[in-house]
Amino acid sequence: MRIHDFHKRNAESPDLGSLVFFEANRDIPFAFKRVYYTYGVKEGIIRGHHAHKALEQLLICVYGAIEIMCDDGEKKECTVLDDPAKGLYVGTGIWHTMKWLKDDSVLLVLASEYYDESDYIRDYDEFIRLVKEGYWKR
Ligand code: T46
């Protein structure tokens, strides 16, 4: 888990807003094959509850505020994403949940691989078993 600060260009007038960018393999540690986003979620809702075997992802809250809980099987860490110029890298073998802190916050995700349900571990006991077996080299 690591926060990435993206490049940001503020316009001369605040009313014109800001532009943020980052480049695969340069500003984030992988190239992405897939982009998805989650929206229309109410405050207090928690999604996720899974880990990935091989998928790497970058999570960005492009609007609102979302708390990401990451668990490597030994310790848990919570990060609040509330700045569209920052992204949280979530690597392989991290159990994670996403809690919406504000109605209609939007979570944008860049993923290193195409969608593959067999890459998901959706059972926490199985996740812990794999951690203990050393499935992921830490
Ligand atoms: C993750 C967190 C951050 C697809 O068919 N294609 C896709 O690319 C994705 C991402 C999902 N789906 C299907 C799978 C489920 O039937 O969409 C449905 C909802 O997915 P899920 O319940 O896994 O959604 P979240 O919000 O719990 O998790 C998602 C990603 O699935 C997951 O990889 O790490 O966002």
**Per-residue pLDDT reduced to its tens digit, 18-50:** 999 999 999 999 999 999 999 999 999 999 999
Per-residue model confidence (pLDDT) at position 128:
98
**Which has more pLDDT, 77 or 11?**
77
73-126: per-residue pLDDT in tens?
999 999 999 999 999 999 999 999 999 999 999 999 999 999 999 999 999 999
Taking alpha carbons only, the member of 36, 34, 10 closest to residue 21 is 10
Q: Is 48 in the pocket of ligand 1 (CB under 6 A)?
A: yes
> Whole-model pTM?
0.96
CA 69, CA 79: separation in Å to the nearest integer? 6
Q: Is 118 helix (H, G, I), strand (E, B) or coil?
A: helix
Per-residue model confidence (pLDDT) at position 138:
74
Atom of ligand 1 nearest to the CA of 111: 33
Expressed in angstroms and rounded, the spacing between residue 17 Cα and the centre of ligand 1 is 31
% residues pLDDT > 90 (the chain): 95
Place of tokens 């860049």: 110
